């Protein structure tokens, strides 16, 4: 069983019960009933790191993944979306494919061993593939 968690309570209550934990970095941005980009822009690396540490404080061995919305590519649509994320942590996963791939690889430093990618625009996976599979 997998639990997708995004806050202290979910982590505390779900982690002991599951075979895998998936951190949902954008969880705060969905609590309003839709995807709120203004809230997504405020997600920090410290917030994601703290959630990973919370999981590890409960279970040192449970496999840990993360859910990431991504848009890899070039052009005004990508630049506009990246601008919406400002300096927030999730902005790392929008932009030039090579930079996005580097940001994805960096998630391993948090103890994350699996990444679930969801395209925010068709073609992002294809743009990332050469940078992740080489």
pLDDT at 134 over 80: no
Q: What is the pLDDT of residues 62-120, one digit of tens each?
A: 999 999 999 999 888 888 888 888 889 999 999 999 999 999 999 999 999 999 999 98
Burial of 109 per CB tally in 10 Å (0-12, 13-18, 19+) = exposed
| Packed helices 97-106 and 124-132: angle between N→C axes, nearest 10 degrees | 70
Spatial separation of the C-alpha atoms in residues 81 and 94, rounded to whole Å: 7
Across the chain, mean pLDDT equals: 92
Greatest alpha-carbon pair distance for the chain in Å reads: 44
Which long-range contacts link 1-4 to residues 24+ away (Cβ below 8 Å)? 2/65, 4/67
- DSSP, residue by residue, 28-76: GGGTTSS--HHHHTT--HHHHHHHHHHHHHH-SSS-EEEEEEEEE--SH
- This prediction has a pTM of 0.88
């Amino acid at each position: 069983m997998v639990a997708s968690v995004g806050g202290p309570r979910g982590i505390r209550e779900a982690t002991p019960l599951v075979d895998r934990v998936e951190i949902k970095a954008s969880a705060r941005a969905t609590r309003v009933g839709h995807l709120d980009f203004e809230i997504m822009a405020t997600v920090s690396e410290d917030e994601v790191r703290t959630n990973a540490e919370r999981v590890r404080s409960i279970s040192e061995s449970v496999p840990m993944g993360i859910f990431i919305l991504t848009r890899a590519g070039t052009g005004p649509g990508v630049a506009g979306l990246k601008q919406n994320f400002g300096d927030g942590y999730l902005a790392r996963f929008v932009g030039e494919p090579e930079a996005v791939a580097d940001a994805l690889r960096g998630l391993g430093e948090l103890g994350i061993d699996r990444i679930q990618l969801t395209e925010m625009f068709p073609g992002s996976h294809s743009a990332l593939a050469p940078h992740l599979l080489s």
